A and B are shown apart, each in its own frame.
Chain A
């Protein structure tokens, strides 16, 4: 875990001091809302439907017990006792009051955290693989590079007023667990002829015009990364469409100018910037690398884990979905589901956060992750300790065994909180998960990702859901469009719309029909929903959704 140095600490303290004074001036009337709004957004403070919302950055989703306990403290002291983990691995507080925000930011600074650049047309929180440092298939831990990019992009004077927000992800394995190709820039750490460097992907994104990122450059040498990123950002900063918010993301810049033209411009920009670059970042990267050493994991006898699997079917079912092999064979990566059936996806109470912090301290080498799928992880747990971890999670209501299953739903806050939303998404997720639990079918259904957004901005990643749901306002009524065949993995794909949308009270039954159609259509339990869809295409699923006979069948 990266620890702030004196510069970082002083920088955050100064920003917090400035913002405290800005809040005071807003409250005493010296600043109008028009003057204050850009200042509060620079510090992650939104005004939502019912209240202010503070979005706190969790860089590349990495937390330690002290940080998570402090997030719990904020939830209890200044909010309603819970926080909401987001699809950019941030945490949002839904109910803070304006005059408390400066104290909240000071409390965050105590544990090296802040809310800077969680809003605005800047480079946002850099995301990464939530298995980083633990995955068997990674070339190296991608987080030091993510941290380097975070330091470079934080308060970067040239990129504080980009045409639009800008999102970067870093991965280091062929499996893409960070939806890298849905980012403005995706960085993949690769090796060529024994030398490490970077593949640079550009122009991915969701929103109203979803696009899969394209390969801009197949190998950027280690020392050139920041200069190359800077050349891309500078090119975008110049060409990006400031005249039209809906055409302002880099995906449109790439689409309108062509990938080759963008590449030529970046390559033309690069030498000048490279010449002006001292290369000091490589010294920083060495220091950062030293802070991200995977803990020394002692050899542990895993007998207790296998004994628990044999003895306890509940434990076994949970372990089957929530435990992934660690690069050390006697350890596992534990995913803690924040998707209890019927609960709000991504919400965790202060007590639950403290339980996770305690478990990380006791069994998890002080390492905790937030994933873009709105779950928490303990990336390094000895298999022998996992039964004890499971027992503690059970007591805290955190032992839902559904990772990768149909109830492990990504859902944006939607119209229950968000000022931009056009429909609700949380109750749809709750309804689907509750129904799946009643039917007891999700383990039989297997891997199925359902993703729900409450507006076209697609915070709920619906475009890359195997089943995507988009909530819209149709003539003053909530209406839900379904897309199928989206894929958030390395074979990234945008889903295809099935047809007309469904009313609020029709959407859960519609999803149920899709799931039963899949069970009828699949060649066997080993064929996933997405594989069945890719084999058969839209037609049979469309029939299940819209055909009256299919409806009658599903109702039996």
Chain B
């Protein structure tokens, strides 16, 4: 019996700004985790990661991050990903401070 696959998103940092970005179902890079494509199949996730890694002119360090589906879209399962999604907790900088531009 194979283990259940924890849903994933493809995430990386934008090449120029360094911002945390997520891959969408229509192959855009979004700053918003809620817009990310949720991958529920392992082979599919690996394939999407390979596709993302090939876009080296747009992003750095693509990897698969665990998420938990929710009514508002995917939510991080680990606090590290929660900080990446939000920004630092000591200053209101980064994602939480706005910045709606897309890569």
Instruction: List A residues at the B interface (Cβ < 8 Å).
Output: 26-27, 29, 32-33, 47-52, 80, 94-95, 97-99, 344, 415-417, 424, 426-427, 430, 473, 476-478
Contact = CB atoms under 8 A, between A and B. Distances in A.
A354 to B, nearest CB: 20
22 contacts: A26-B15, A27-B57, A47-B60, A50-B18, A50-B83, A50-B84, A50-B88, A50-B94, A51-B13, A51-B17, A52-B18, A80-B93, A95-B18, A95-B93, A97-B18, A415-B79, A415-B83, A416-B83, A426-B88, A430-B90, A476-B79, A477-B79
A32 B78 CA distance: 29
Contacts, number: 74
B56 A32 contact: yes
A478 B90 contact: no
- B16, B18, B93, B95, most chain A CB atoms within 10 A: B18
A51 B90 contact: no
Contact of B83 (A29, A32, A49, A80): A49
Nearest to A96: B18
Interface of B: 13, 15-20, 56-57, 60-61, 77-80, 83-84, 87-91, 93-95
- B60, B88, B90, most chain A CB atoms within 10 A: B90
B84 A49 contact: yes
A465 to B, nearest CB: 20
Contacts of A47: 13, 18, 60-61
Q: Which 5 A-B pairs have the closest CB atoms?
A: A416-B88, A51-B18, A52-B18, A426-B90, A29-B57
A47 B16 CA distance: 11
A274 to B, nearest CB: 46
A29 B57 CA distance: 6
Given A50-B88, A415-B83, A476 B78 contact: yes
B17 A97 contact: yes
B89 A424 contact: yes
Nearest to A33: B60
B85 to A, nearest CB: 10
A271 to B, nearest CB: 48
